[in-house]
Chains A and B, each alone.
Chain A
């Protein structure tokens, strides 16, 4: 990798808190490239927050060096450094006495932007993070936890900083909301292309979001630093293996898109087909059901027994519970296979046109190879 691509470089960074025997982070070196989404993950107390806070100097390292875009973080006043780094803290930390608009406009206002420009930016951001504009005039106490987290993210993005530090930003919400926030943030990040350092103790979150994962052990020891797929396939040691937990196969499936598997046409026939033709298709695929097509749409499926003396057009097809697009994960496809009646995952394109099917075999091939 070219030297200039490194956005954040930790060089033998150590943090020893006063009155403690062992360093919270000891001799940690880590390079984070421009545009990367690095998740820092590890058990509670392993030094994730400490590491993150050393990057924007909320905590000063005891020794070692931190370079941001090639510049020593210690070479400028802390408040100037921090205005160019978005920060989402573990406890959200919105300013209770300021409206949502004022909270979001914090850094632009510190940077001396004109009021009209701040207002424009605030309006834009509140939509980016999926909130209503009418919330801008409310106070933080008048928002739900999930909404506050979104505001926290908007506040961090306000001055369009190249670097974003996030400390368990989705920690305080229920799993469903967290899933939404993760998905939305992934899409947002694809558009924004920031360099993100994201702390979590949830390995699934780390796998789902990170382009690379740094797995830390107590004392800030870096056990493995690699892409999610690589870590899941080749855990560096027992600690990493234990930390990944069970279901590594499933977790890997969660990373692979449906498009990476062999999508087949499957047992389908047009709705104008005769019972005869339909039975021939079922026989060919060795199944007792058939998918019913109307042009390029898959209407649903029909059981073999329903076709006694009736053509396909005379039977009302039962709809498939789920249709997935090719960018959905194989894990979702697997879920669809094991929960659906027809033991198959239906794949459609963005317009809803039928693209094909995946069965259990096609999916398991992707992890057993």
Chain B
């Protein structure tokens, strides 16, 4: 044990942290924007695809099949595939990261809408909702907890995946991790990993709060 403690002093070099605070802030921003843009874009695409699925049910297996296939491609391989077309750019990173969110988001949106009980929909019809107003005012609000849960998982996953984009010169905190590995300077590695985990945790908790705020009616059941 004493050996580990002895090394700990050298592992975390606080003076490095102080000297590089500006860069840490920059990389935090990069990490957040990559995550935010990718999840937001993923959500827009998923909503559109989910609407297609809800209208034409037969399209569900092919659409989730394709999204699932994307999900299984190793991220490094996906970057390698994209670089010839979009270069070592943010576009490459966003395309890859976005494609990883689709599977989770589409499934959660469709499951959320499907989870609205048939008798609630029937009651809505009986009250005189048009099909469109029933969808937006009854089904969507009731599906929101499931949809937000999907966005939450997608976001946390993306925060982790962003670090991989370090291989194409981006990476947010991944930048520190990669450089730490290359230079055997552990402080960078540890700072990169820790901050990434902290960011994921903060966003996770934020979405839990958002979920509770968006669906006060399910508070009691969740408690």
A83 touches B138 (CB 8 A): no
Cβ of B223 to closest chain A Cβ, rounded Å: 11
Specify which chain A residues have a CB less than 8 angstroms from the CB of B216 in the assembled complex.
139
* Inter-chain contact B126/A56, CB cutoff 8 Å: yes
With A139-B217, A141-B217, A141-B220 in contact, do A110 and B123 touch (Cβ < 8 Å)?
no
Q: Does the CB pair A97–B217 fall under 8 Å? A: yes
30 sampled A-B residue pairs with Cβ under 8 A:
A56-B126, A58-B126, A80-B128, A87-B123, A87-B126, A87-B127, A89-B123, A89-B126, A91-B117, A92-B119, A92-B123, A93-B117, A93-B122, A93-B126, A94-B120, A94-B123, A95-B120, A95-B138, A96-B142, A96-B218, A97-B138, A97-B142, A97-B217, A97-B218, A107-B128, A110-B127, A110-B133, A139-B216, A141-B220, A141-B221
Restricting to B125-153, which residues have a CB under 8 Å from any CB of A? 125-130, 133, 138, 141-142
Assess whether B168 is interfacial by the CB under 8 Å rule.
Answer: no
Whole-angstrom distance from the CB of B17 to the nearest CB of chain A? Answer: 46
* B32 contacts the other chain (CB 8 A): no
Interface size class of B (residues with CB under 8 A): 20 to 34
Name the residue on B nearest A99 (C-beta).
B217
> Are A79 and B128 touching (Cβ within 8 A)?
yes
B residues in contact with A140, CB < 8 Å:
217
B residues contacting A by CB (< 8 A) are 117, 119-120, 122-130, 133, 138, 141-142, 215-218, 220-221
Binary contact readout A44-86 vs B (1 if CB under 8 angstroms, 0 otherwise): 0000000000001010000000000000000000111111000
How far, in whole Å, are A142 and B125 apart by their CA atoms in the complex? 24
B217 pairs with A106, CB closer than 8 A: no
State whether A82 and B125 are in contact (beta carbons under 8 Å apart), knowing that A93-B119, A95-B138 are contacts in the complex: yes
A-B residue pair count with CB separations less than 8 angstroms: 70
- Tell whether A79 pairs with B129 under 8 Å between CB atoms, given A95-B124, A97-B215, A141-B221: yes
Q: Chain A interface residue count: which class?
A: 20 to 34
Q: Are A93 and B120 in contact (CB under 8 A)?
A: yes
Closest to A138 in B: B217
User: Complex formed: what's the CA distance from A98 to B138 in Å?
Assistant: 9
Bound CA span A27–B216, Å: 48
Does A271 sit at the interface, judged by CB under 8 A?
no
The contact of B127 among A139, A142, A155, by CB within 8 Å, is A155
Q: What is the CA–CA distance of A106 and B123 in the complex, to the nearest angstrom?
A: 11
B30 to A: closest C-beta gap in Å = 38
A107 touches B127 (CB 8 A): yes
Give every chain B residue within 8 A of A107 (Cβ-Cβ): 127-128
Which residues of A are found within 8 Å of B142, using beta-carbon distances?
95-97
* Besides the known contacts A93-B119, A141-B221, 11 further A-B residue pairs in the complex with CB atoms under 8 A apart: A56-B126, A58-B126, A82-B126, A89-B123, A92-B123, A93-B122, A94-B120, A96-B120, A97-B142, A97-B215, A141-B217
- Residue from A58, A94, A106, A140 with most neighbouring chain B CB atoms (10 Å): A106
B130 neighbours in A (Cβ, 8 Å): 79
- List chain A residues, Cβ under 8 A from B221: 141
Q: Name A82-122 residues within 8 Å CB distance of B.
A: 82-83, 87, 89-98, 106-107, 110
- What's the nearest-Cβ distance from chain A to residue B125, in Å? 6
In the complex, A141 Cα to B138 Cα: how many Å? 16
Which residue of chain B has its CB nearest to the CB of A111?
B128
Complex contact A95–B123 (CB within 8 A): yes
B217 / chain A contacts, CB cutoff of 8 Å: 96-98, 139-141
Q: Which residue of A lies closest to B131 (CB)?
A: A79
Chain B residues with Cβ under 8 A from A79's Cβ? 125, 128-130
